Amino acid sequence: MALESLKPSAEGLQQHQFATSVLVCGTDDYQIRILAGEAEVIADITEADAVCHLVSLDHRNRFGYGLANGTVGVYEGAKRLWRVRSRHAPSCLLAFAPHAEGNNRSRMELAIGWMNGLVEIREQSNGQVIFKSRVGPDPLAGVVAMDYIGCPLPVLMTIDIEGRVHAWMPQPTQETPEQESLQPSRREPMESNDTEQLGSDVPVDDLPVLDETKTKNDAAGPDAGVLAADLVVDSAKGAALRLAVPTGVIQKVVITAEGLYGADGHVVSPQAPAKQLEVELPIPRDVETTLTVTCITGVTKASREHTVLEAQIKLPRFAMYRYVGS
């Protein structure tokens, strides 16, 4: 579900005299409805998936939208101008003016934060990529633009689910003073230049959201999708499993073992999902077996999409005992 208000165009004001604003509503049943006044439906658009994000672009009734299936695009009223799709879902949208001359801001472009840690800016009219940077492997939780360092230029800032903040400030290019590109702010960690790209002449329709050959290799490291599990014994707490996942948070743990637990296994649901978790391991009797640890993970605590990671660990017969010396 998403809501956004638009400033009506001149044509819209003439047609709907009593409408001071236009309301755009995105629903979970794949609909985008444009409403004027209190109850008049101007347009009813059917999309391919649930509408998660809407943002006004302050120009000719244009607005950006994001779907749960990874589609992002721009409408001008009920007419779609462009759309792209990625294997990753968008996590946040922002109307951002990357160019500025004095106190006058240029028209808004569409800034997109992705679940794979990518941030990019696309032209609102055709979807051409004018800036792109990967800030890390974790999903972006938010994208904002503000005067953070006391200058008239807007600073683009992102924060991921781990709390890491990055910022970029528009800088004039040497070739054309009127044009500006985003550069890392001095107050934030520097980003690799090879991840930032200005606009290209690639056709816009169904343009890939990211350079899969470059960013996919960065995300799919040797530890990606691997559950780390270690058995520890403490004299006070007894045996426990220390679990860690490379990305996301652990939402539920199911431990099964032949001859130790019943058919349902030992289930643990942490109150505060985290990347690392220590699970107390009840061992009712001395038995040698293999523990099968199944972790249900999500990108965030509120994620509706989950990933299942598994690991096996040998449990010695006398795991509940620890040698303390003679």
Domain ranges of the chain: 22-168, 228-315
134-159: buried (b, 16+ CB within 10 Å) or exposed (e) per residue?
bbbbbbbbebbbeebeeeebbbbbbb
CA distance 146 to 141: 17
> Quick one: pLDDT at residue 36?
81
At the topology level, CATH places domain 228-315 in Immunoglobulin-like (2.60.40)
Q: What is the pLDDT of residues 196-242, one digit of tens each?
A: 333 333 333 333 333 333 333 443 444 545 777 777 766 566 778 88
pLDDT band at 320 (very low <50, low <70, confident <90, very high): confident
Judged against a pLDDT cut of 50, whether residue 103 lies above it is answered with: no
Bridge partners of residue 47, in order along the sequence: none
* Torsion angle of C-alpha atoms 219, 162, 186, 173, degrees rounded to 10: 50
Least confident stretch, 3-17, 141-155, 162-176, 234-248: 3-17
The domain covering 22-168 belongs, at the CATH homologous superfamily level, to YVTN repeat-like/Quinoprotein amine dehydrogenase (2.130.10.10)
CA distance 202 to 216: 20
Check residues 20 and 77 and name the one with the higher pLDDT.
Answer: 77
Q: What are phi and psi of 135, to 5 degrees?
A: -95, -10
Highest-confidence range of 76-90, 225-239, 309-323, by mean pLDDT?
A: 76-90
pTM over 0.85: no
